[in-house]
Amino acid sequence: MILSCNHINKAFGMDDILKDVSFHIEDHEKVAIVGINGAGKSTLLKIIIGEEPADSGEVVIAKGKTLGYLAQHQDTNSEETIYHSLLEIKKDILKLEDKIRFLENEMKHVEGAELETLLDQYSKATTAFEQANGYAYKSEVVGVLKGLGFEEEEFNRKINSLSGGQKTRVALAKLLLTKPDIILLDEPINHLDMGSIAWLETFLLNYQGSVIIVAHDRYFLNRIVSKVIELDMGVGTVFLGNYSDYSAKKAQLREAQLKAYFKQQQEIKHQQEVITKLKSFNREKSIKRAESREKMLDKLERLDKPMSADDSMQIEFHPAVTSGNDVMNVEGLTKSFGNLTLFKDVNFEIKRGERVAIIGDNGTGKTTLLKIINEMVKADAGTITLGAKVEIGYYDQEQQLLHEEKTLFDEMQDAYPDMTNTQIRNILASFLFTNDDVFKLVGDLSGGERGRLSLAKLMLSDSNFLILDEPTNHLDIVSKEILENALNHYSGTVLYVSHDRYFINQTATRILALHNENFVNFIGNYDYYLEKKDILLAPKVEEATSKVSTETAAKADWKSNKEAQAAERKRKNEIQRIEKEIVKVEARIDEIDEEAASDGVATNAHRLVELMKEKDQLSKKLDDLYERWSELDS
């Protein structure tokens, strides 16, 4: 065990943030801390590193072990360049390197015993230098910077000239190069593109120390962690496995809790009915029995009904007007800023009902494309044609269409005056705004809350073509699941930019990958993209035959994928048909057994023979059905 938290309690005012939270971390273990925004995840990390005191409880770190911490926000105003600030991490190696150079120079001018002494020092210095990986320290620094998305021409930029996100990436690079025994990361990937996130995943998977991560990227957590610590209403619960394992176990646990709750409610109702009946007899003994049962009922520890975000997630939105089948056609679209070409001669179309994700590295032009479609930015060339009855609804990262001075309730009511108070409250509750939350000022909302409110407004609009720019930014996992559910039940069309791979996997029916100034089409979700990207994003060669071959392969792959999907649908339909037939046959066999045992038939030999013959045929049919069901379900 490298770290343990024992009975940690923390309150801010009257709010209990952490209640008796206990867990331990093993050496080399990768752990996630999850929970809704405000659950106390960042507070727990600060308590572990000693930045925030716990009200009670203790954090125990194994002797001699080091901690490294990355906060969500960095406010560094150093005059140092990015590269030299990272070299500071390697100052011990730099000192050794200077010593080696000094000794090399000195040995040129001495002989005899003095030379022997210097040679001995030189041997020890070079051995220590090699053990510290000194010969590779420059490539290690460059590798980490490039892995986190910095280009070489940016290495000499001063840190005080960087954006907040860039400063966070520099801080993360420093932390990774420091190599502490325990790394604590608070939302480490908020400012990383997909390539950098994938690099960080590989780095952390191979990291020799322990890692504790707070993150809302479920795909990221799935790849890295083997333990999940959930903070819910202040209580910490440990689940073994990655995020998907945690999610499944959480659902099973909730189902068991619901069963226990309903069973207890049934027993309470039964006891109350018995008590009422005993009292109705109006006799001394029956009244005493009733009072005795009442006392037992009063002492019963009542189970609370387990609550879940799923309770408010079953929401569906449908546009008032259905668009034509052809929603948007893009032809020859080109856009540059100065000497930087974002994309050129882009052609694609979007059909009604599709949910299309646009992916690509930061700065490649994804958001610019959405702004061109929304006529916020002009294209250099090309045309965008909208289909019949298409109404666009746009969600931008800044949520500029909200009014800071209004309450949430007024924001919704002013946008949709025909809705009743109850309808507005129900919609807001669907996006996790309950009770007095609806009277908060928009200006006082967090980034995630603003995002949820903007999405609630957008989903209620008359739009039938939603265009979303990074809709999951600042959303916690529960809010993301609400959005996923809403989009998957939405009968309109969706085009969105996102770097959230789990979200893309759950919602996208097609992916447009912005690569080498063009869009490459993938008919499937993010897993399908990963499977096929090396083929479809291979470097283009000059020969036309190679291009034709690639296009042919892509079309063949698309056809193969569609055929596989059709076969899978057919398999599932056949399983459902067989299951219904099994139920029907088993019901008939039960009817036969019941009829054969009845008084009128038991003595009727002719009828019994008929029934037994039918039962034998049905039993054989049932065996065949079960065998076929097993084949299809395997």
Contact present, 260 and 303 (Cβ < 8 Å): yes
> Tell me, what's the pLDDT at 49?
92
Per-residue pLDDT tens digits for 539-565: 543 433 444 444 455 555 555 666 666
| The pair of three-digit structure tokens given for residue 394, joined into one six-digit string | 């746009």
- Cite the DSSP H helix spans in 416-513: 421-430, 447-460, 477-488, 501-507
Model confidence at 398, in pLDDT bands (50, 70, 90)?
Answer: low
Contact present, 339 and 405 (Cβ < 8 Å): no
| The pair of three-digit structure tokens given for residue 601, joined into one six-digit string | 């038939």
Mean pLDDT of all residues in the chain?
85
> Tell me, what's the pLDDT at 283?
78
| The pair of three-digit structure tokens given for residue 347, joined into one six-digit string | 């052609």
> Tell me, what's the pLDDT at 73?
65
> Tell me, what's the pLDDT at 550?
47
Contact present, 30 and 225 (Cβ < 8 Å): yes
Q: How far apart are CA 209 and CA 205, in angstroms?
A: 10
* Residue among 441, 438, 442 nearest 454 (CA): 442
| The pair of three-digit structure tokens given for residue 545, joined into one six-digit string | 């035959």
Contact present, 393 and 463 (Cβ < 8 Å): yes
Contact present, 523 and 348 (Cβ < 8 Å): no
Where does 326-406+448-525 sit in CATH, by number? 3.40.50.300
The amino acid present at 481, given as its one-letter code, is E
Q: Average the pLDDT over each of 18-32, 79-93, 310-324, 455-469 and give the range with the smallest value.
A: 310-324
Q: How far apart are CA 257 and CA 45, in angstroms?
A: 30
Mean pLDDT along residues 7-34: 93
Per-residue pLDDT tens digits for 29-61: 999 999 887 889 999 999 999 999 999 999 999
Q: How far apart are CA 566 and CA 560, in angstroms?
A: 10
Q: Average the pLDDT over each of 359-368, 382-391, 400-409, 621-630 and give the range with the smallest value.
A: 621-630
Q: How far apart are CA 100 and CA 340, in angstroms?
A: 45
Per-residue pLDDT tens digits for 327-350: 999 999 999 988 888 999 999 999
| The pair of three-digit structure tokens given for residue 271, joined into one six-digit string | 């006891």
Contact present, 490 and 318 (Cβ < 8 Å): yes
| The pair of three-digit structure tokens given for residue 513, joined into one six-digit string | 């990958």
Largest Cα–Cα separation, the chain = 122
> Tell me, what's the pLDDT at 548?
45
Contact present, 458 and 374 (Cβ < 8 Å): no
Q: What is the pTM of this model?
A: 0.67
Per-residue pLDDT tens digits for 197-250: 889 999 999 999 999 999 888 899 999 999 999 998 899 999 999 998 998 898
Backbone torsions φ then ψ of 156, nearest 5 degrees? -95, 10
Q: How far apart are CA 275 and CA 289, in angstroms?
A: 8
The amino acid present at 25, given as its one-letter code, is I
Helix (H) or strand (E) holding 178, with range, is: helix 164-178
| The pair of three-digit structure tokens given for residue 340, joined into one six-digit string | 């930087």
Domain ranges of the chain: 257-307, 326-406+448-525, 567-633
Q: How far apart are CA 220 and CA 472, in angstroms?
A: 14
DSSP label at residue 19: E
Q: In what order do the strands lie in the sheet with 3-12?
A: 15-25, 3-12, 56-61
Q: How far apart are CA 342 and CA 334, in angstroms?
A: 8
- Cite the DSSP H helix spans in 330-470: 366-373, 408-415, 421-430, 447-460
Q: Is 492 helix (H, G, I), strand (E, B) or coil?
A: coil
Looking at the predicted structure, is the pLDDT value of residue 312 above 50?
Answer: no
